[in-house]
Amino acid sequence: MSSRKLQCRAHSVGRLIRIVSALLSLIVPVKARAQVPTLAPQTTVAQTRPLTLEEAVRTAESQSEAIRIARAGVQRAQGQQYQARSQRFPQLNASASYTRTLASQFSSAGGSAPAVDTTKPKPPPAPCDQYLLGPTATTAERLAGLEDASRCALGSNPFSSFGSLGFGAKNQYNVGLSFSQNLFAGGRIQAQNAVANAGRRSAEIELAAQRAQLRLDVTQDYFDAALADRLVALAESSAVQTENVLKQTQLARTVGNVSEFELLRAQVSAANQRPIVIQRQSDREVAYLRLKQLLNIALDTPVQLTTAVDDVAAINSALEAAGLADTSAADRATVREAAAAIDAQQGLLKVSKAQRFPTLALTSQYGKVAFPLTNFPQSGDFRTNWTVGIASQVPLFTGGRIKGDQLVAEANVREAQARYDQLREFAALDSRVTLSNLSQARSAWLASLGTAEQARRAYSIAEVRYKEGISTQLELNDARILLEQAVTNRALAARNLQVARVKLALLPDLPLQTTGATQSQAQAATQQQQSQSSQQTQAAQPAQTGQQQSGIPPQ
Calculate mean pLDDT across residues 354-371: 92
- Name the more confident of 381 and 340: 340
Question: If we measure between CA atoms, which residue out of 251, 296, 260, 314 comes closest to residue 28?
Answer: 251
Q: Is the pLDDT of residue 349 over 90?
A: yes
Give me the percent of the chain exceeding a pLDDT of 90.
37
pLDDT at 228: 92
Q: How far apart are CA 38 and CA 36, in angstroms?
A: 6
Calculate mean pLDDT across residues 228-244: 89
**24 contacts 251 by C-beta, under 8 angstroms:** yes
pLDDT band at 101 (very low <50, low <70, confident <90, very high): confident
Write the pLDDT tens digit of every residue in 107-144.
Answer: 665 444 455 555 666 777 766 666 677 777 777 777 77
**Does the domain formed by 12-37+45-87+187-357+399-535 have CATH 1.20.1600.10?**
yes
pLDDT at 43: 44
Q: Is the pLDDT of residue 293 over 80?
A: yes
Q: Is the pLDDT of residue 470 over 90?
A: no
Q: Is the pLDDT of residue 366 over 50?
A: yes
**Does the domain formed by 93-105+168-184+359-393 have CATH 1.20.120?**
no
Q: How far apart are CA 512 and CA 428, in angstroms?
A: 10
pLDDT at 403: 94
Inter-CA distances, 123 with 111, 128, 149, Å? 20, 10, 9
pLDDT at 317: 65
Q: How far apart are CA 452 and CA 141, in angstroms?
A: 135
Most confident among 137-146, 199-208, 455-464, 493-502 (mean pLDDT): 199-208
Query: What's the whole-model pTM score?
Result: 0.71
Q: How far apart are CA 122 and CA 555, in angstroms?
A: 37
pLDDT at 185: 92
Question: If we measure between CA atoms, which residue out of 462, 383, 56 comes closest to residue 226?
Answer: 56
Q: If you average pLDDT over every residue of the chain, what do you get?
A: 79
Boundaries of every domain in the chain: 12-37+45-87+187-357+399-535, 93-105+168-184+359-393, 119-163
Inter-CA distances, 425 with 209, 436, 527, Å? 19, 17, 24
Most confident among 270-279, 302-311, 407-416 (mean pLDDT): 407-416
Out of 105-119, 226-240, 457-471, 498-512, least confident range: 105-119
Write the pLDDT tens digit of every residue in 486-503.
Answer: 888 888 988 998 898 889
**194 contacts 347 by C-beta, under 8 angstroms:** yes
pLDDT band at 534 (very low <50, low <70, confident <90, very high): very low
